[in-house]
Chain A
Amino acid sequence: MNIKKNWWKILASVCLLYTVIEGFIGEVPAREILNETIRNLYFHVPMWFGMMTLLFISVIYGIRHLRNGRMRDDLIARESAHAGVAMGILGLITGSLWARYTWGTWWTSDTKLNGAAITMLIYFAYFVLRGSVEDEQKRARLSAVYSIFAFVMMMVFIMILPRMEDSLHPGNGGNPGFSKYDLDSKMRMVFYPAVLGWILLGVWIMTIRVRIATLENQLHEPTFTDHPTL
């Protein structure tokens, strides 16, 4: 294994090992209502960081594809969206569980929750769009255009909606963020590595999926091997 090229994979593994061990058996501040569920901070919140990073990568590669027309950029855009949506779903599940034990319900109509749901709807639509176009080049271009449009509108939605409605979610609608619960900054020592670890894991999964898809393309279309871009 090439350390110079793959150091970030080692970093991801170390960060995640640390997160899981310290997250489950480490000391956490005792707070009412939250109790032990406060540990979910290390798993629920980084999922959204990971998702946003991957979706951002997806949009960047979409723009790159529009500029140079390379199919590899489209492949990366697609797989980033896949990995990002997977992390989003995990974020929804962990959030739903957390809401059950703190707010008393699996799902409630809340700004942050609606934003998350819309993000999922947009990216499911993105996959449906990809599935409905036969021609490769056309599919890449249409989905890149859609993902740029959708990503910008999603950011707008996430920014304007909290100004219109109140929220239960920490860090929204006048609620304090988690920094208030974490008075001695002990949780930060786990939270930051957790965010880094989950983001890197998401990117890692994406690169593996890109490699698998590239191999599959070569298998089905042998001419791809002498194509310089794939």
Chain B
Amino acid sequence: MPKIREEENLIFVSVPSPLGGLSTRIMLKEIRLLLYKEFMLESRQKQSLNGIILYLVSTIFVCKMSFRSLPQPAAWNALFWIIMLFASVNAAGKSFIQDSRARFVYMYTLASPQAIIIAKVLYNMLLMLLLSIIGFVVYVILLGGNPIQNMPLFLADVVLGSMGFSCVLTTMSAIASRTSNSFTLMAVLSFPILLPLLMTVLKISKNALDGLDPAISYKYLLILASINVITGVLSYLLFPYLWKD
């Protein structure tokens, strides 16, 4: 990890309220460094990423053994996204729960909470994209063939879906990590909030599956994008209240 220079370090500490206090340049730099830190940590502790991928593959395999085959597109679609939902909750859950208390405090003396949440959301988004792609490939191989007729629409759905999932789940993970039973709470808090997102994602991917005219789906893509904006803004605004003790 590149060293944060002494004078910058001082700037971060001396700004009492980061809301509006930091310049965009410093913020971007912080985000870049924090993202770098996340990738660095991930590459050093490969077992946690491998664990999530294995979780995903095992779940798909269990589904394959239970269902044998899924001839109906609606069931294929629903099952895929339910598997992705559980994998995402697990993957994002660790983003704050995993961090130790001491590291938490240390991080906040170095960077503004806004930079931290943006970096975490971006990182989780990339993680979820990766999981979706791996999940999709394994799912297609195990459950016999790719029934999707409109691949670009499906990909757009996956990208936008990962963004929304990441915004909601990162914030929920931040909340859950401060409580005594974080793993149960992670699921309990996220599932009802994720539903509007999940319903929209399901709808678009069903349209992609059936190869409907893309014009029908633009409305839903727009809904999905606006949900992402709403969740993104909420995470950005509310996160500073979550980290202080």
Q: Any chain A CB within 8 A of the CB of B106?
A: no
Q: Does the CB pair A134–B180 fall under 8 Å?
A: yes
Q: Does the CB pair A145–B181 fall under 8 Å?
A: no
Secondary structure type dominating chain A contacts: helix
Q: Does the CB pair A152–B196 fall under 8 Å?
A: no
Q: Does the CB pair B179–A133 fall under 8 Å?
A: yes
Q: Does the CB pair A142–B238 fall under 8 Å?
A: no
Q: Does the CB pair A129–B179 fall under 8 Å?
A: yes
Q: Does the CB pair A132–B181 fall under 8 Å?
A: yes
Secondary structure type dominating chain B contacts: helix
Residues from chain A with a CB closer than 8 A to the CB of B180 are 132-134
Q: Does the CB pair B185–A132 fall under 8 Å?
A: yes
Q: Does the CB pair A142–B181 fall under 8 Å?
A: no
Render A151-180 as a binary contact track against B, CB cut-off 8 A, 1 for contact. Answer: 011001100110110000000000000000
Q: Any chain A CB within 8 A of the CB of B11?
A: no
Residues from chain B with a CB closer than 8 A to the CB of A107 are none
Render B162-191 as a binary contact track against A, CB cut-off 8 A, 1 for contact. Answer: 000000100100010011110001001101
Identify A157's interface contact among B189, B196, B238, B245, CB under 8 A: B196
Q: Does the CB pair A153–B193 fall under 8 Å?
A: yes
A228 vs B175: C-alpha distance when bound (angstroms): 29
A163 vs B199: C-alpha distance when bound (angstroms): 11
Q: Any chain A CB within 8 A of the CB of B195?
A: yes
Q: Any chain B CB within 8 A of the CB of A128?
A: yes
Residues from chain B with a CB closer than 8 A to the CB of A122 are 192-193
Identify B171's interface contact among A125, A129, A149, A161, CB under 8 A: A149
Q: Does the CB pair A133–B178 fall under 8 Å?
A: yes
A97 CB to nearest chain B CB (Å): 25
Q: When A128-B188, A164-B199 are in contact, do A148 and B238 touch as well, CB less than 8 Å?
A: yes
Identify A149's interface contact among B179, B199, B234, CB under 8 A: B234
Q: Categorize the interface residue count of chain B.
A: 20 to 34
Residues from chain B with a CB closer than 8 A to the CB of A129 are 175, 179, 185, 188-189
A118 vs B244: C-alpha distance when bound (angstroms): 30
| Interface residues of A, Cβ cutoff 8 Å to B | 66, 118, 121-122, 125, 128-129, 132-134, 138, 141-142, 144-146, 148-150, 152-153, 156-157, 160-161, 163-164
Q: Does the CB pair A66–B241 fall under 8 Å?
A: yes
Q: Does the CB pair A125–B238 fall under 8 Å?
A: no
Q: Does the CB pair B178–A156 fall under 8 Å?
A: no
Q: Any chain A CB within 8 A of the CB of B95?
A: no
A164 vs B217: C-alpha distance when bound (angstroms): 11
A36 vs B189: C-alpha distance when bound (angstroms): 40
Q: Any chain A CB within 8 A of the CB of B200?
A: yes
B121 CB to nearest chain A CB (Å): 14
Closest 6 A/B residue pairs (Cβ): A132-B179, A157-B196, A121-B192, A122-B192, A153-B193, A145-B238
Q: Does the CB pair A121–B191 fall under 8 Å?
A: yes
Q: Does the CB pair A153–B231 fall under 8 Å?
A: yes
Residues from chain B with a CB closer than 8 A to the CB of A125 are 185, 188-189, 192
Q: Does the CB pair B191–A148 fall under 8 Å?
A: no
Residues from chain B with a CB closer than 8 A to the CB of A160 are 196, 199-200, 223, 227
Q: Does the CB pair A152–B189 fall under 8 Å?
A: no
Q: Does the CB pair B175–A164 fall under 8 Å?
A: no
A72 vs B89: C-alpha distance when bound (angstroms): 34
Render B47-85 as a binary contact track against A, CB cut-off 8 A, 1 for contact. Answer: 000000000000000000000000000000000000000
Q: Does the CB pair B230–A146 fall under 8 Å?
A: no
Residues from chain A with a CB closer than 8 A to the CB of B191 are 121
Q: When A132-B180, A133-B180 are in contact, do A161 and B196 touch as well, CB less than 8 Å?
A: yes
Q: Does the CB pair B245–A138 fall under 8 Å?
A: yes
B207 CB to nearest chain A CB (Å): 11
B171 CB to nearest chain A CB (Å): 6
Q: When A134-B180, A148-B234 are in contact, do A153 and B175 touch as well, CB less than 8 Å?
A: no
Q: When A66-B241, A161-B199 are in contact, do A152 and B230 touch as well, CB less than 8 Å?
A: yes
Q: Any chain A CB within 8 A of the CB of B13?
A: no
Residues from chain B with a CB closer than 8 A to the CB of A66 are 241
